[in-house]
Structure 1
Amino acid sequence: MQEYSVKVTLPDGQVMAVTASESDTLEAVADRFKDYYEDDIILGIVNGRLRELNKKIKSDCELSFVTTADRDGRRTYRRSVVLLLQRAIYDVYGSMTQLHVMHSLGEGYYCQLEKAVECADSQQEKYNEDTDQGSRENSEKSVTEHDIDRIVCSMYTFVEKDLTITKHSAKTQYAEQLFKEKGLHDKERLLHYRRSSRVNLYELDGVVDYFYGFMAPSTGMLKYFDIVPYESGFVLLFPGAHSRSVEPLVTSNKLFHTLDDSREWSKMLGIGTIGSLNDAIAAGRGQEIMLLQEALMEQKIGNLAAQIASDDKKKFVMIAGPSSSGKTSFANRLSIQLIAKGRKPHPLSLDDYYVDREFCPKHPDGSFDFECLESIDVKLFNEDMNRLLKGEAVDMPSFNFKTGKREYRGRKLTLGVDDILVIEGIHGLNDRLSQLIPPEHKFKIYISALTQLNIDEHNPLSTTDERLIRRIVRDARTRGTNAMETIAMWPSVRKGERENIFPFQEQADVMFNSALVYELAVLKVYAEPLLFGIERDCPEYLEAKRLLKLLDYFLPMPADGIPNNSLLREFVGGSCFNV
């Protein structure tokens, strides 16, 4: 039997050479080194490429492992638990009940169940009409706590059995027909636009599915999950910061209903999944979808402006949200609508209240921490805002990013009866920032790109991925930052969001969704060349490859017809605003 030399890189950087036979899988090698890891190993990296643990060693190679605490490991774990959930639902309800993973909620997925729709060819047209391209309100199945107990019990039974999750390579046309027969029409339409002649299917004890990404080798690894009832469905909970304990559901009806409202928008557009968007583009409806989406968004911004303008006490509109949410374009469009409602808005960036660079806090590595609240002169901000409330004239500061110092350039401001400040900055929702401003004078808005699209029935589209792709495109165009650099800094950006933005989103008066149902079809054209520019030996290559696979699902759309006031123009260029 052929033997190979495998150089294994451990978490501390130590490299150990071992011998493996041609019959050994990556999982067999991983078992030798599991004691070196605090978390469970779920994937391997062979010569720089991600591989599932059931892959066999085929040559001399360099090997490292991915655990369930790592970014790719967490994604793999979640996909695998969804397949486990499907198998349990089949066990509890039978084949006539289907799972729909709707969207992320906290550290989990909000899910609903529906009765399967008859799938004969004669029913296909009726299916599309009745469901309005993904709306399933007439067939949702309510889930009781007793049902959940049965599902969870079934899932743990399969975990104890440690059943193999088998990977099959199938012709794309075969898979498309298979899912059509199963009534999984979103998955069928997704595969209809796949360029590859073959796809990977995964099977667990007779349940076959297609997933966006790698899977765990067996159910024995999927020990940590929970299910809690929520609204008309339930939330499948996963581990969070600690890979071996489930994160409790921490969310609010405000966020949930913002996501739910977005799904209502997608119903109006007839676009709920990538497959239905591709159908519209292929049918020549791309421009129509674009204009409808923009009209709906303008209507929503107008309604929000009317709500603010109706209260004369509101003097400070405070806008905050994570990176690449389109905050600047949104603030400009909201200001225009406020003018139309009789108010006089004045834009203000919290960046102008940065402390001088020499006083800015630093990270442990010595770099400046521009995202912490202490980087803002909170005392001066409150003093200036309260002077404005009293009707005084205030000399407004400007921050010079080249010198790292605050400057005064003669920009005087006085708030009259109709005047209102539109303030944008990451700490806008944190009451510590505006602690001396009376609450009745503040109106807080949380903005984020909460995508209303799903990949298919069982694969939600990540809001974070959409924002990352936005940022890759924008940074390359406006900051001279390549895709590799943007991907490399993204974990630090996300850390700042978790610490400084997400904890305060509940304090918003309104949550605004800036996601555009068509945007990834447009961003694809800009992002793909940037991602292809990342070399295979770069640490960011694996993430770039994953994003390229995501974008490959979309048919491209030209940006020509996008209005120049669209939020998307902030990223692709051509905006009428100074963004």
Structure 2
Amino acid sequence: MRRLKEILLKILDTNEELRVPAGEKLLEYAKRYWKYHDTPIVAARLDNTIVELTRPLERGGTVEFIDLRCLDGLRIYQRGVLFVLNMALKERYPNCELWVLHSLDNALYCELRCGGIPHPFSEEEIQWIKARMNQIVAHDLIFEKGEYYKDEAFKIFIQHNDRDRIKLFRFRKKKTIKLYKCGDHYDYYYGYMPPSTGVLKWFDLVKENEGFLLVLPDQKDPLTVSRPKPLVKLSSVFYEYARWLDVIGVRTVADLNEIISRGEREVAELMIINEALHEKKISQIAEQFANSGARLILIAGPSSSGKTTFAKRLLVQLRVHGFKPLVISLDDYFVDRELTPRDEEGNYDFESLEAIDLKLFNEHLSMLIEGREVELPKFDFKLGRRIWSGQKIKLERNQPIVIEGIHGLNEKLTSSVDRSMKFKIYVSALTQLNLDPHNRITTTDTRLLRRIIRDYKFRGHSATDTLKMWPSVRKGEEKHIFPFQEEADVMFNSAIVYEWAVLKIFAEQLLVQVSPEEREYTEALRLMKLLDYFLPITNLEDIPRTSILREFIGRSAFKY
């Protein structure tokens, strides 16, 4: 095929069309359009595919420049800052390894492990690292991308004492590996990088536990770096799970792949261990409730966190402790349709707290806790209004009320009940498994894959449908759930160490159906590339019927 001498680009910032030579890079054109952006441009979207500004163009299309007000832009910025951080650390601690473990609001919790043991930082060391990073940023060094055959890349990894990467790529089918070089430093990052270090001006470092927080810009205010508010409970759950992964020897995808490659017996054992951990935690939560003196259990968490299965397993454990829990559905306390608040686009906002008849709900809670009889309502979704079921209930002494819903941790939901009578539980899939020390798997991605599969299997939605809805779902979580997570009395981590190897079987065939013509193709492609690192677990029979994973892949022992 004859190579095109010119390609046509349509720039969305101005809708102008440019004819440029094939092989041209977008970097120089990006500088021309920076005036239309209030934050640095770090990459571009060519039609529905992300391209780096330093990549030679082989085809034309519509160009949308990506800055820090875009989630993809923040991801790219984050990788660049992590690269610079590792450059600084390698200068001072050449025999130690940076581990990026989890996020806390707009920060990443990191540890520097020397011989597998976290290095305790002094304030002086933190300031030195930060100053060195600023020097690297000021030098505006280029991120160079190179493609290497595996044996060449492995030699580079060995020279840099980076054997975790060799383990990761040993199971990948591709013959080549793409590495980034900046100065004399080589590194691998899953995803795209900014053009140079010069755009990476906004970050901070703060001592935290056995490591430190790398504080990054927020999407709402990208040019301001604010230290996150303390998230003590959430941080402790992440920390505990990370140490548990260390104990069982599954810190990275490479470790998981090693187990899968050894056969079904070891995979089954890993499943049993993970499910035993969940059962132990749920039993402990039931015991904590039993000792709390509370009468009301409130369960909340973001989408696809496994709240429903958790709640059903908790009910079993409560019965083991001698309780007869009563489950009340918040959906039955919706206000009539015409009274439902609307969002900015004029659609009914069923996630708003005001979509619930708080007055009636609190009256019923107070009456039940006082030992009085209550007739429970039923919401008719076809009619869009409440009807009365005739079902009357009265609590017994050993009968706690269990309520699951997004507003469970918000005190306004149950304002009539004294705080001492409430036991609040936050549930989320707080994933701690890393691709490798520098590349983490986000909790959001785990939940998104779960939801894509569940929406298809049980709601008839395509992956495109779910990806279209996801930003709105995330917006609701940011507003109604995350601000209240530290209000929880206890947190339950529903992450399953082996689940990505199972989700891969279901998700890949759904994601591949997302059309390149759809804007969601960018996200589908990113998730497919991420799934490509995992060996699949094909024998699903060993997954217990009570597992939280069954809520998403099917054949659960519980009815939903």
Considering the TM-score relative to the shorter chain, is it more than 0.5? yes
Structure 1 runs of 4+ aligned residues shifted over 6 Å read none
Q: Tell me the equivalent position of 2:460.
A: 480
Q: Tell me the equivalent position of 1:573.
A: 554
- Of the three residues 148, 162, 174, the one matched with 1:184 is 162
The TM-score normalised by the length of structure 1 is 0.93
Aligned equivalents of 1:451, 1:479: Cα separation in 2: 25
Kindly indicate whether the alpha-carbon contact (under 8 Å) linking 1:44 and 1:63 is maintained by their aligned counterparts in 2: yes
Aligned equivalents of 1:573, 1:59: Cα separation in 2: 43
Q: Tell me the equivalent position of 1:120.
A: none
Aligned equivalents of 2:544, 2:61: Cα separation in 1: 51
Kindly indicate whether the alpha-carbon contact (under 8 Å) linking 2:106 and 2:215 is maintained by their aligned counterparts in 1: yes
Aligned equivalents of 2:466, 2:230: Cα separation in 1: 29
Q: Match of 1:220, as an amino acid?
A: G
Kindly state the Cα deviation for residue 305 of structure 1 after the two structures are TM-superposed.
0.5
- Of the three residues 274, 277, 284, the one matched with 2:253 is 274
Secondary structure at the aligned position of 1:432 is classed as: helix
Secondary structure at the aligned position of 2:214 is classed as: strand
What does the per-residue CA deviation read over 1:485-526, in whole Å, with 9 as the maximum and x for residues that have no partner? 100110000000000000001111011101111111111101
Kindly state the Cα deviation for residue 94 of structure 1 after the two structures are TM-superposed.
4.0
Kindly state the Cα deviation for residue 145 of structure 1 after the two structures are TM-superposed.
1.1
Q: Tell me the equivalent position of 1:436.
A: 416
Secondary structure at the aligned position of 2:412 is classed as: coil
What does the per-residue CA deviation read over 1:517-544, in whole Å, with 9 as the maximum and x for residues that have no partner? 1111111101111100111111100100
Aligned equivalents of 2:357, 2:541: Cα separation in 1: 42
What does the per-residue CA deviation read over 1:304-330, in whole Å, with 9 as the maximum and x for residues that have no partner? 10111123x311100000000011100
Q: Tell me the equivalent position of 2:51.
A: 51
Aligned equivalents of 1:207, 1:96: Cα separation in 2: 14
Say whether 1:415 aligns with 2:395: yes
Q: Tell me the equivalent position of 1:107.
A: 106
Q: Match of 2:270, as an amino acid?
A: I
Q: Match of 1:206, as an amino acid?
A: D
Kindly state the Cα deviation for residue 39 of structure 1 after the two structures are TM-superposed.
2.1
Aligned equivalents of 2:456, 2:206: Cα separation in 1: 42
Q: Tell me the equivalent position of 2:385.
A: 405
Aligned equivalents of 2:44, 2:344: Cα separation in 1: 31
Kindly state the Cα deviation for residue 3 of structure 1 after the two structures are TM-superposed.
6.2
**Against the structure 1 CA distance between its residues 177 and 417, is the aligned structure 2 distance closer, same or farther, given a 3 Å change threshold?**
farther
Aligned equivalents of 2:83, 2:212: Cα separation in 1: 16
Secondary structure at the aligned position of 2:440 is classed as: coil
Aligned equivalents of 2:203, 2:465: Cα separation in 1: 34
What does the per-residue CA deviation read over 1:114-137, in whole Å, with 9 as the maximum and x for residues that have no partner? 22x5xxxxxxxxxxxxxxxxxx3x
Aligned equivalents of 1:292, 1:331: Cα separation in 2: 21
Q: Tell me the equivalent position of 1:193.
A: 171
Q: Match of 1:306, as an amino acid?
A: E
Secondary structure at the aligned position of 1:575 is classed as: coil
**Against the structure 1 CA distance between its residues 182 and 60, is the aligned structure 2 distance closer, same or farther, given a 3 Å change threshold?**
closer
Q: Match of 1:201, as an amino acid?
A: L
Kindly state the Cα deviation for residue 265 of structure 1 after the two structures are TM-superposed.
2.5
Aligned equivalents of 1:155, 1:88: Cα separation in 2: 6
Kindly indicate whether the alpha-carbon contact (under 8 Å) linking 2:12 and 2:63 is maintained by their aligned counterparts in 1: no
Say whether 1:531 aligns with 2:502: no
Q: Tell me the equivalent position of 1:541.
A: 521
Aligned equivalents of 1:534, 1:3: Cα separation in 2: 31
The TM-score normalised by the length of structure 2 is 0.96
Say whether 1:507 aligns with 2:509: no
Kindly indicate whether the alpha-carbon contact (under 8 Å) linking 1:6 and 1:63 is maintained by their aligned counterparts in 2: no
**Against the structure 1 CA distance between its residues 383 and 60, is the aligned structure 2 distance closer, same or farther, given a 3 Å change threshold?**
closer
Aligned residue pairs: how many? 554
Kindly indicate whether the alpha-carbon contact (under 8 Å) linking 2:305 and 2:427 is maintained by their aligned counterparts in 1: yes
- Of the three residues 109, 121, 144, the one matched with 2:122 is 144
The alignment-based identity, stated in percent, is 42
Q: Tell me the equivalent position of 1:155.
A: 133
Kindly indicate whether the alpha-carbon contact (under 8 Å) linking 2:7 and 2:22 is maintained by their aligned counterparts in 1: no
Kindly indicate whether the alpha-carbon contact (under 8 Å) linking 2:95 and 2:161 is maintained by their aligned counterparts in 1: no
Which has the larger displacement, 154-163 or 250-259?
Answer: 250-259
**What is the Cα-based RMSD across aligned positions, in Å?**
1.6
Kindly indicate whether the alpha-carbon contact (under 8 Å) linking 1:176 and 1:189 is maintained by their aligned counterparts in 2: no
What does the per-residue CA deviation read over 1:43-66, in whole Å, with 9 as the maximum and x for residues that have no partner? 122243211000123454432211
Kindly indicate whether the alpha-carbon contact (under 8 Å) linking 1:170 and 1:198 is maintained by their aligned counterparts in 2: yes
Kindly indicate whether the alpha-carbon contact (under 8 Å) linking 2:300 and 2:409 is maintained by their aligned counterparts in 1: yes
Kindly indicate whether the alpha-carbon contact (under 8 Å) linking 1:176 and 1:191 is maintained by their aligned counterparts in 2: no
For structure 2, the 5+ residue unaligned runs are: none
What does the per-residue CA deviation read over 1:155-189, in whole Å, with 9 as the maximum and x for residues that have no partner? 11111110111111011343244324533333221
Secondary structure at the aligned position of 1:478 is classed as: helix
**Against the structure 1 CA distance between its residues 97 and 266, is the aligned structure 2 distance closer, same or farther, given a 3 Å change threshold?**
closer
Q: Match of 1:373, as an amino acid?
A: L
Kindly indicate whether the alpha-carbon contact (under 8 Å) linking 1:301 and 1:334 is maintained by their aligned counterparts in 2: yes
Kindly indicate whether the alpha-carbon contact (under 8 Å) linking 1:450 and 1:463 is maintained by their aligned counterparts in 2: yes
Kindly indicate whether the alpha-carbon contact (under 8 Å) linking 1:10 and 1:36 is maintained by their aligned counterparts in 2: no
For structure 1, the 5+ residue unaligned runs are: 118-135
Which has the larger displacement, 368-377 or 93-102?
Answer: 93-102
**Against the structure 1 CA distance between its residues 375 and 62, is the aligned structure 2 distance closer, same or farther, given a 3 Å change threshold?**
same
Aligned equivalents of 1:162, 1:248: Cα separation in 2: 25
Which has the larger displacement, 165-174 or 421-430?
Answer: 165-174
